[in-house]
Amino acid sequence: MSFKIASSPHQHSQRSTSQLMRLVVLACIPGIAVQAVLFGYGVLIQLLLAVITAWLSEALVLMLRRKAVFIRLKDNSAMLTAVLLAVAIPPYAPWWIIVIGTAFAIIMVKQLYGGLGNNLFNPAMAAYVLLLVSFPLQMTQWLPPLSLQSVTLTPLDAVCSIFTQYSCSGFSLAQLQANVDGVTMATPLDTLRTGLSRGLTLDESLQNPVFFAFAGAGWLWVNLAYLVGGLVLIQQKAIGWRIPVAVLASLFVLSAVASLAAPDSIAGPMFHLFSGGTMLAAFFIATDPVSASTTNKGRLIYGALIGLLVFLIRSFGGYPDAYAFAVLLANMTVPLIDYYTRPRTYGHRQRSELK
């Protein structure tokens, strides 16, 4: 009988790493489909560019390291990184945005540290932060949902917009960002932040047409779709419940208390839970088995820390969504969290008990 020693991710199931990564990608399909329906075909084009770039980048580094290329490509980890980054960026961002981001995630964040199981940070979120800091204009050019768009884009228009920044009909991205009334739109989180910075109250800011019910138009359905995918992952035991529950509970409690204390400037918990990338981050990004905490208590602390950081950055920081920064900051604390929450070894006795 032989035992194999391998690096993380470790899962207490009969699934291989390849099967686990593929299952997570499949669970993303409801969210991806809703994004494509509500925000246009650009989501699918970005996905294709990201996956191709991830495979080529991984293959290149593996060849330089003289490792078996096809065996490691089959673990689907590069594809998952590509998918998570592609759905996080604006659907009609220039093609080179996703290429640079995906190549950075695979080469610098993953392979430079030794490949799968050795990276300190979540590759997709590290790449997202790089792109957001380096190219803030391109990374904030989100189009409004199709119901609010002044121009309907065909699949060919999507290709032209991504590769030339103009639709086939000659509309620029700035023109496409305008709603049916000709007003330039932004994401709900960014719109709320802008309104509050201009001295508007919360209720006045929420009068913008980009808001719908208690969340942003379109974003409510996107978050619900990723919530469904995340629950499937928990039901299939592909991920644990502790991290996503801790993330959502922490964000809910903090935003609820703060909104009661400052109702004119802090949005309520339902807005925070169903706007931006909340469900995507809670179920698909924060639960990364390599960069997240590995103990049961540690996972609860790690998830709660992410929720806390998201609330603080959204409410008082300079970036509206904040999940990428929150996840990376929490990644830094994982060794410390794991050290103080590791379970006691069987048969271990405290030194004070031995005296």
The pTM (predicted TM-score) of the whole model is 0.89
Owner of token pair 């604006």: 90
pLDDT band at 25 (very low <50, low <70, confident <90, very high): very high
Q: With contact defined as beta carbons under 8 Å apart, do 261 and 236 qualify?
A: no
Strand partners, 215: 212
Strand partners, 292: none
Whether the pLDDT of residue 299 is over 70: the answer is: yes
Going by C-alpha positions, the residue among 58, 68, 40, 32 that lies closest to residue 226 is 32
Q: With contact defined as beta carbons under 8 Å apart, do 69 and 118 qualify?
A: no
What is the 8-class DSSP label of residue 62?
Answer: H
Quick one: CA torsion of 169, 173, 178, 184, rounded to 10 degrees?
-160
Q: For residue 147, what are the contacts with CB-CB under 8 A and spacing of at least 6?
A: 217, 218
pLDDT given at position 181: 45
Among the ranges given (101-105, 267-271, 324-328), the one the predictor scored with the smallest mean pLDDT: 267-271
Q: What angle do CA 113, 53, 136 make, to 5 degrees?
A: 85
Going by C-alpha positions, the residue among 185, 229, 240, 192 that lies closest to residue 214 is 192
Structure tokens at 198: 């201009």
What b/e string do you get for 117-148 counting C-beta neighbours within 10 Å, with b at 16 or more? Answer: bebebbbbbbbbbbbbeebeebbbbbbbbeeb
Q: How high is the mean pLDDT of the chain? A: 87
pLDDT given at position 162: 93
Cis peptide before 30 (omega within 30 of 0): no
Helix-helix angle 42-64:77-86, to 10 degrees: 140
CB neighbours of residue 30 within 10 Å:
19
pLDDT given at position 14: 63
Among the ranges given (116-120, 126-130, 193-197, 337-341), the one the predictor scored with the smallest mean pLDDT: 193-197
pLDDT tens digits, one per residue of 175-199:
777 654 445 556 778 878 778 778 8
Kindly tell me the sign of the dihedral angle through the C-alpha atoms of 200, 201, 204, 209. positive
203 or 32, which is more confident: 32
Whether the pLDDT of residue 63 is over 50: the answer is: yes
- The whole-angstrom separation of Cα 336 and Cα 333 is 5
Share of the chain above pLDDT 70, in %: 90
Whether the pLDDT of residue 108 is over 50: the answer is: yes
pLDDT given at position 250: 97
Quick one: CA torsion of 120, 126, 127, 132, rounded to 10 degrees?
-170
What's the half-sphere exposure (Cβ side, CA atoms, 13 Å) at 73? 16
pLDDT given at position 203: 79
Whether the pLDDT of residue 125 is over 80: the answer is: yes
Whether the pLDDT of residue 51 is over 70: the answer is: yes
Query: For residue 305, how far is the Cα from the chain centroid?
Result: 16
Kindly tell me the sign of the dihedral angle through the C-alpha atoms of 78, 136, 38, 214. positive
pLDDT given at position 74: 86
At residue 166, φ and ψ (nearest 5 deg) are -135, 140
Owner of token pair 């990364």: 288
Among the ranges given (66-70, 176-180, 231-235, 281-285), the one the predictor scored with the smallest mean pLDDT: 176-180
Structure tokens at 144: 């409004």
Owner of token pair 């669970």: 27
